[in-house]
Amino acid sequence: MQCGTMVAELLQFIIAGLKSGAVYALVALGFTIVFGATGAINFAQGEFYMLGGMTGVLLTTWGVPLPLAVVGAVMLTAVIGAAFELVAVRPIASGDPLRIIMVTIGGSVVLRQAALHLFGPDERALRPFTAGPSLRLLGAAVERQTLWVWAITAMAVVVLAVVYRQTMFGKAMRATSIRRDAARLVGIDASAMVTASFGLAAALGALGGLVVAPLTQTAFYVGSGMGVKGFAAAILGGLGNPVAAVGGGLILGLLESLTAGYLDPLYKDAVALVVLLGVLFLRPQGLLGGRGTEKV
Amino acid sequence: MRTVRALAPYLVAIVVAAGPFLTDDRFLLKVLTFVGLNALVIVGLALLFGFAGQVSLGHAAFVGLGAYASAVCSVRFGWPWIVGFIAAGSLAALGGLILALPSLRLKGHYLAMATLGFGELASLAFVEAEPVTGGVDGFSGIPFPSIGGFEFREPAALYWLVWAIVGIAVLLATNLTALRPGRAMRALHGSELGALASGVDTTGIKVRVFVLSATLAGLAGALYASVVGFVSPSVFTVGSSVTFLAMAVIGGTGSLAGPLVAATALTLVQYLDALIPGISRDTARIVQSFQEDVYGMSIVLVVLLAPRGVSGLLKRLGSVGRP
Amino acid sequence: MERLSVSLVFVLLVAMLFGCAGGTKDAADEGPKPVKIGAVLSLTGTYAGLGEAEKRALELEVDRINASGGIAGAPIELIIEDDGTDEAKAVAAAAKLIEQDGVVALIGASGTGQTMAMRGDVKRAGVPQISLAGGTVVTGEFDPLVFQTPWSNRIVVPFVLEAINRAGHTKVALLSDSGGYGKDGRAVIMENVASAGIELVADETFNPGDTDLTAQLTRIKASGAQAVLLWTAGKEAAVAVKSARELGLDQPFFGGSGQARVEFIEGAGEAAEGFIFGTGKSLVPANWGEGSVQFETVSDFATRFETAYGEQPDIFAGHAFDALTILADALDRVGPDASPQELRDAIEATNGVVGFGGTFTFSKTDHNGLTTDDLALYTVESGKWVPVK
């Protein structure tokens, strides 16, 4: 094969990997934020990804213009996320991570089944944000929607970083995730911060589900698979570190894409699982994270 | 009153053992055999969740491991059933050990994710390892269990075999929880730090309990394969693991009785329309369509409102009549 | 104390069960003894959509047959059990229908796995089974008792391969899923490419649920294929054709029954235009030619179905209709008191029975009974499938 085609092929795989990776990054950020605030894993995180796409489709079928539908779906999912925290997580006064995990496992089943009853069992399509043929880059194709995936992910990360560093709210969130009782002592409403973290995580997940729906379609059952991948990305970077979560997502996407491209596509799904188990067993603090993850 | 209480477990055992004498309904016996299979898995999960405070989202994978192991041993190798049965338990135990050893350093929520990853990986493997598992088409023609020259082909015989093994597992588990390891496990559930401080080898106990529960799941899988005669990957999904977990969680912590009652009830619900003749088909359908909703909702409600689950309920029920 | 209450609950539960089960057996019959037929359908779970359509078709047909005198005066009694798309439940349902209800024949299951799981009980009881599942394994792993009505890959694959060859494409890339339908199809395709005069220049697979097929399509693009054969029933089909167009892979796409789904065309949008797939003629009944027996049969069924339920029957309803049509035809020949064994022999002797799927003729080695004559090619035009002229 010619050198030029080989480069184009590699570039094509990298583009595909960074596209999936950006979505994983959004879901992984959600895991990280909730983990930061509660010390627990939110097993319902993947369902927020699903809810984003499904509510977006629902809104457009009602005739809502696409940009409004996207914003509406993100906000709606954020409200569902925050409400889920208020109803199911806050009553666990002890904050026992085991019980929070159990509640989110149960909650994920409830959310998925609710979506099944509301939206039906079939897959649904969302139209691309901007129509038109794909762009060319050194012989490789870049779909317009892929540019949206990257743009929206980048925007979400920047906004998140600014909010976390510059605003009072962000500082309170960070303080809570570092030491909950100390945060409370300086007058931060720690439980409000936990609610906010669920809302934020849900919004990020929903954004991922929305921006990728025009490429892949969506269905009530897509949440749990994405949950596992998003978690693998989060743990790869090191749970609790937002920057690392984004890095983890992109690395995972690339690994998958290169595996599918140069090994065998059938091993693609196994990549995330092997990464998940490997990192858990060998380096629970993550590849990119330095901070200890064990919260006692 | 006290004597009744002491006699109660024996009473249950007698009723369960007498099942095939009370009915000649072969379908009912089959359903009750399936109840027994789930009960076997739940005994292990109840120990893991209720006593050791660990969550597994991968137990269906161990059931699958056992089912395929016994199917391969009896069909491909032509080995006696009992050898396949033991192989199934051993393989699941080994799988459990491999998963538990590295997980032991991690806290509860990591084990949950690790078992979830393991469960997904196993599902993939069951589909992809086609030469061994038969792939998506499944593995058919698995013979009935047989020991010596006796083949368990009648529903009553299968019922007795399965429930006898459940009985042994329950006895084993009861003794385990009553003895020192049991108290250590309970300490673990209360506070791991506390348990550590009082000299309990927490990681060792966690691993042992996990391996035991994986073994029981593997044995249940071996029995499932030979009771049904057909095995396919769609049975051993993470969804099934969540159902098992729901049974254990709803059953509650700190006792075996609660989880067993929950396993029995939640399995029977699936056969509602066939078991209760008067029930309208639509009612049964609605119940069955919302079955998973009920599982999910029950997990949430039990964790929030009644962390001790059915066990706690039973205890409270019991203490009402206490003099 | 806990033990006592547990025991009480347990004893009550068990007693309730045994009590209930005892009560099921005293239904006194009047008039001629009905012919009992059992159906195991997936009314809940993953295949709920299939099972519901099948149930409607079966109930519609049983009512029609009974209204016109049944089988030599004896009505058909149809007992439907839900398997919840679960194999253990399918086994229990088969056991219940055979042992508790004493049915002479079984229809179902909706899914391939559930159908295979029932086999043990079917064999033991010697009751004939007509499956509604499309997996090649159902009649490929041959059992004298088991029949199936959908167009199996065994006939659709050669039909589509021939069409590809006729279109002048000899170098073909295959893209199939690693789930049930795709894997099944891929195996049959491998057996048949050589005889169809086609060379497979790429053989790519993907997992159900994959959201990105760039790697596979990039390799297909590099393989020099003249056409792409896509074999999947999942939502990834839409992803495949969309990304193919984006990647500049403009070769024609071919597929099988998996593309006869509205969701595929909706999901793929413009990229689906020009897609060619092969499946049963009855997808567009006019294929049969107006006035033909097939056309009348299919449109009559469609009309009655629409009158009863307010919507057009889908192919799954059609496959269920066929199962009952075949069964009723066999029963007509051997009478309502036939034993399961006699009924099985009569089903195997089915010759030229016209149903939704086509004209069924079974033999000692063919329990699917359809041929490529029952299939047609379709292409997607302006968001709808139309027959290829």
Give which of C174, C185, C188, C189 is closest to C240, Cα–Cα.
C174
Crossing angle for the helix pair B257-269 and B238-251, to the nearest 10 degrees: 130
Same domain, C174 and C126: no
Instruction: Judge if C250 and C134 occupy the same domain.
Output: no
Domain range enclosing A159: 3-282
Longest dimension (CA), chain B: 63
CA–CA gap between residue B247 and residue B258 (Å, rounded): 9
Strand-strand pairing, B146-147 and C129-131: unpaired
Q: What is the pLDDT of residue C220?
A: 92
Q: Which residues of B touch A43 (CB under 8 A)?
A: 112
Q: Note the ipTM here.
A: 0.85
Query: What are the pLDDT digits (tens) for B19-45?
Result: 888 877 778 888 899 999 999 999 999
Range of the domain at B203: 2-237
Smallest Cα–Cα separation from C54: which of C43, C64, C45?
C43
Q: Are C356 and C297 in contact (CB under 8 A)?
A: yes
Decide if C16 is inside a domain: no
Residue A249 lies in a domain: yes
- Quick one: pLDDT at residue C171? 94
A289 found inside a domain? no
Q: What is the chain A residue with the closest CA to C271?
A: A133
Residue C20 lies in a domain: no
Q: Which CATH number goes with the domain that contains C315?
A: 3.40.50.2300
Residue A5 confidence (pLDDT): 76
- Residue A116: which residues within 8 A CB-CB, separation 6 or more? A220, A221
CA quadruple B126, B132, B137, B138: dihedral, nearest 10? -80
Residue C378 confidence (pLDDT): 94
Specify the pLDDT at position B207: 86
Residue of C nearest to B128 (CA): C178
Question: Per-residue pLDDT tens for B227-266?
Answer: 988 898 888 988 889 889 989 988 888 788 889 999 998 8
Given an 8 Å threshold on Cβ–Cβ distance, is B140 in contact with C179? Answer: no
Q: Is the same domain home to C161 and C232?
A: yes
Query: Does some domain include residue C348?
Result: yes
Q: Does C175 touch chain A (CB under 8 A)?
A: no
Q: What is the Cβ-side half-sphere exposure of residue C116, based on CA atoms within 13 angstroms?
A: 25
Is C10 part of any domain?
no
Mean pLDDT lowest among B227-236, C27-36, C246-255, C291-300: C27-36
Residue C21 included in any domain: no
Q: What is the CATH number of the domain that holds A249?
A: 1.10.3470
**Contact check, Cβ <8 Å, C4/B318:** yes
The answer, for A130 touching chain B at a CB cutoff of 8 Å, is: no
Per-residue pLDDT of chain A (296 residues; tens, 9 = 90+): 567 778 888 998 999 999 999 999 999 999 999 888 888 889 999 999 999 999 999 999 999 999 999 999 999 999 999 999 999 988 886 777 778 888 999 999 999 999 988 888 777 888 888 888 888 888 788 888 999 999 999 999 999 888 888 887 778 877 777 776 777 777 777 788 889 999 999 999 999 999 999 888 888 888 988 999 999 999 888 777 788 889 999 999 999 999 988 888 888 888 889 988 888 888 777 666 554 443 32
For position A291, what pLDDT does the model report? 47
Q: Tell me which residue range forms the domain holding C363.
A: 34-150+296-371
Give pTM, 2 decimals: 0.84
Residues of chain A in contact with residue C219, where contact means CB-CB under 8 angstroms, are: 261
Q: What is the pLDDT of residue B3?
A: 62
Chain C's closest residue to B136, CA to CA, is C180
Indicate if the pLDDT at residue C244 is higher than 60: yes
Residue B108 in any domain: the answer is yes
Please give the tally of structural domains in chain B.
1
Which residue is associated with the tokens 């159908």?
C115
What is the signed CA dihedral for A29, A31, A35, A38, rounded to 10 degrees? 110
Whether residue A296 lies inside any domain: the answer is no
Let me know if residue A93 belongs to a domain: yes
> Is residue A291 assigned to a domain?
no
Number of domains chain A contains: 1
- Evaluate whether residue C269 is within a structural domain: yes
| Residue B274, in any domain of the structure | no
Q: Does residue C171 sit in the same domain as residue C274?
A: yes
Is A255 part of a structural domain of the chain?
yes
Residue C44 with chain B: CB contacts under 8 Å: 285, 288-289, 291
Q: Are residues C263 and C219 in the same domain?
A: yes
Contact between chains at B318 and C5 (C-beta distance less than 8 A): yes
Most confident segment among B245-254, C179-188, C338-347: C338-347
Chain B contact for A41 (CB, 8 A cutoff): yes
Interface membership of B114 toward A (CB under 8 Å): yes
> For residue B191, how far is the Cα from the chain centroid?
26
Confidence grade of residue B198 (pLDDT, cut at 50, 70, 90): low
Q: Which residues of A touch B300 (CB under 8 A)?
A: 88, 103, 106-107, 110
Same domain? For C158 and C49 the reply is: no
Structure tokens at C190: 């491998």
Q: Which of C13, C14, C89, C231 to mutate to test the interface with B (most CBs of B within 10 A)?
A: C14
- Nearest-angstrom CA–CA distance, B40 and B35: 9
Taking only residues 193 to 232 of chain A, the set having a beta carbon closer than 8 angstroms to any beta carbon of chain B reads 224, 228, 231-232
- Domain assignment present for C248: yes
Domains contained in chain C, number:
2
Look at residue B228 in the predicted model and tell me its pLDDT: 87
DSSP β-ladder status, C384-387 and C375-381: antiparallel
